[in-house]
Structure 1
Amino acid sequence: MGIAGLLPALRSIQKTRHLSEFKGQTIAVDAYVWLHKGVYACATELAIGKPTHKYVDYAMHRVRLLRHYGVEPYVVFDGGPLPAKRGTESERKKRRDENLARGKALVAQGRHSQARDCFIKCIDVTPEMAYQLIKALRPENVQYIVAPYEADAQLAYLERKGLVSAILTEDSDLLVFGCKNVLFKLDHVANTVCHISRTDFGSVTSTAMDSSSINLHGWNDTQFRAMAILSGCDYLPSIPGIGLKTANNLMRKWKTAEAVIRAVTLEGKKNVPNGYLQQYNLADRCFRFQRVYDPLEGKLVHLHDVAGEWDEESDIYVGE
């Protein structure tokens, strides 16, 4: 979930802010982040089919926490499966099924503590669970929207259109989508969040003391997005041996993703999959042109207006 190593690499620009600092603002919330965290408290019940409402209670507690400090939540839910993530979702389902079987076997052996650890790993948030949260949001007049596909792109669109001033999530992908103000690590005890502002990217520089640090000085959004995709994302695994730091170094040297891929291929030290450049371009289009719902116009639109060549494969890949 997100770009591996990105948030630690941006540690220098992360600021802890109290929720009261956002009073009077509307903040978009990734609903599935709260639902996934909420299932931790009732993983065993969900795995064995026992009715529970704890995951809804978890999310609603945070809705009320935001409102207590004058912050209005705008809750965004995932929609249908995105064609671009078929491979990722298939692998995740396989791991969930394996953990469910392992957990049931441990229960049969009376090893309930170990079984719960497996159940936590196997539980997936279902549309029915999302609907239970929606039913709780309605009586309290909390704004919500179900994205046609991924919540990430929908969250980015709401900020881009000025309907919200920030995004509350745990997914670093929101930075790759171009969001300007992203909030992480909601602390319901200290009532704080970790704020990353896109305007601070230019001050992120690598240091000899931190081998995992990256340098974003002078970069534009295209270069940042290219680094993230090359390092491996939900839409495209990385070339083996290329993580965030290496992707950053390669982009600083060769300037464009196409030049990086060509250079790595010619060097011959890393196994570049066949058709990798084509798959890279499709992943890039997912971050730029994924379909979202415009609540003002009441219709599906692209996250950004489509530019350049466009074909049927791209159209399907970013959501029909």
Structure 2
Amino acid sequence: MGVNLRDLIPAEARREVELRALKGYAVALDSYNMLYQFLAAIRQPDGTPLMDRQGRVTSHLSGLFYRTINLVEEGIKPVFVFDGKPPEMKSREIAERIKRKEEAAAKYKQAVELGRLEEARKYAQATGRLTREMVEESKALLRAMGMPVVQAPEEGEAQAACMAAWGSVWAAGSQDYDSLLFGSPRLVRNLAITGRRKLPGRDEYVEVKPEVIELDRLLKALGITREQLIVIGILLGTDFNPGGVKGYGPKTALRYVKSLGSAEKALQAVAKLEPSVDVYKIFEYFKNPPCTREYKIEWHPPNPEEIKRILVDEHDFNPERVEKAIERLRKAYRENLRARQSRLDAWFS
């Protein structure tokens, strides 16, 4: 789930943009975050995911293939970053996620039996699981498409943030706000779900656009440092301390941390409020996350035969539709991925 900073981010630090406004920008995408969004969103009316003839889920491959082509057509340069081994601190959150998925699966089954299809779809969206096989075939598809794939030592979102902080890419891309705590100078949200989307449980649709959040502007607007932002995140709850500290919402946490004057004093105070959690370890993880510099960011021409082998031969995708999509990708590569990335320093001016 990540830390929820949404209610703390003022208008001057965030901006909705069209996809085409991101042309020429390299973005390191939190791939697990993206794949889970595809597993949740790409489903049949009753909540059943897309599957091949052998009953293997293909929603993630469909979303990854067509969404990546859309991004490249708009001139965005995607870099896909995959999670490594989860940190030990995350074990509690992982266990809670498994429990939530099991509960959602039971409610989904009951809703289907009762013929409540809209309710069933809602619960089905919370049941998606990524297997090792699904992750590996996603990497294989991306490489066949000519996209750079980066393997993180631990958290993919941390690696994406490091790459942005080092200047290898312009921004980190994720739905979660953790990238800001990890130090990414910019976060781009909604890249996987851009377009017209139905509101859950309502017969109403909204237009979802990419949202860019700039860390420096956020810190300046709130009058805090990144270190203080990390402490606020710990108060609100992160993947390493789900639920946070009882009684602290976004505004309360901001006032509390600012009142203590420094991140060090605030962290000491939080440690007393929540003695069962090693807040110092969590703070250090966000401040200096484990990242690797052993990666290459290069885009290559797509390999049509390998793409068709994975999607058509292995997973029964429609060959004509895949062929047309490949032609779009080849054209987009020629037009957009060979160009040099422009300077971006004054983008938010």
CA shift in 2, pair 1:168/1:274, >3 Å: closer
Query: What residue ranges of structure 2 are gaps of 5+ in the alignment?
Result: 197-206, 297-349
Measured against aligned partners, the alpha-carbon deviations of 1:39-74 in whole angstroms (never above 9, x if no partner) come to 132352479x83242321112222111211222110
Query: Letter of the aligned partner of 1:285 in structure 2?
Result: E
Contact 1:96-1:122 within 8 A present in 2 as well: yes
Say whether 1:146 aligns with 2:135: no
1:79 to partner: Cα distance: 2.0
Query: Letter of the aligned partner of 1:92 in structure 2?
Result: R
Q: Which has the higher contact order (CA 8 A, sep 6+)?
A: 2
CA shift in 2, pair 1:256/1:238, >3 Å: farther
Aligned residue number for residue 292 of structure 1: 291
| Structure 1 residue corresponding to 2:179, chosen from 143, 162, 174 | 174
1:233 to partner: Cα distance: 1.4
Contact 1:232-1:243 within 8 A present in 2 as well: no
Query: Letter of the aligned partner of 2:48 in structure 1?
Result: T
In structure 1, C-alpha distance between the alignment counterparts of 2:265 and 2:59, rounded to whole Å: 50
Contact 2:71-2:77 within 8 A present in 1 as well: yes
In structure 2, C-alpha distance between the alignment counterparts of 1:3 and 1:21, rounded to whole Å: 27
TM (norm. structure 1) is 0.77
TM (norm. structure 2) is 0.71
Equivalent pairs counted in the alignment come to 276
Aligned residue number for residue 72 of structure 2: 67
In structure 1, C-alpha distance between the alignment counterparts of 2:161 and 2:271, rounded to whole Å: 34
| Structure 1 residue corresponding to 2:130, chosen from 103, 125, 131 | 125
In structure 2, C-alpha distance between the alignment counterparts of 1:203 and 1:294, rounded to whole Å: 29
**Aligned partner of residue 184 in structure 2, secondary structure:** coil
Say whether 1:44 aligns with 2:61: no
1:160 to partner: Cα distance: 2.1
| Structure 2 residue corresponding to 1:135, chosen from 135, 140, 156 | 140
CA shift in 2, pair 1:112/1:141, >3 Å: same
1:246 to partner: Cα distance: 1.4
Aligned residue number for residue 254 of structure 2: 248
Give aligned-pair identity as a percent: 26
RMSD: 2.7
| Structure 2 residue corresponding to 1:53, chosen from 31, 55, 58 | 58
User: Which stretch of the first structure deviates more once superposed, 98-107 or 142-151?
Assistant: 98-107
1:238 to partner: Cα distance: 2.1
Contact 2:162-2:183 within 8 A present in 1 as well: no
In the TM superposition, 1:72-91 aligns within 5 A as: 72-91=77-96
Query: What residue ranges of structure 1 are gaps of 5+ in the alignment?
Result: 205-215, 267-271, 298-320
CA shift in 2, pair 1:221/1:69, >3 Å: same
CA shift in 2, pair 1:55/1:296, >3 Å: closer
1:262 to partner: Cα distance: 5.8
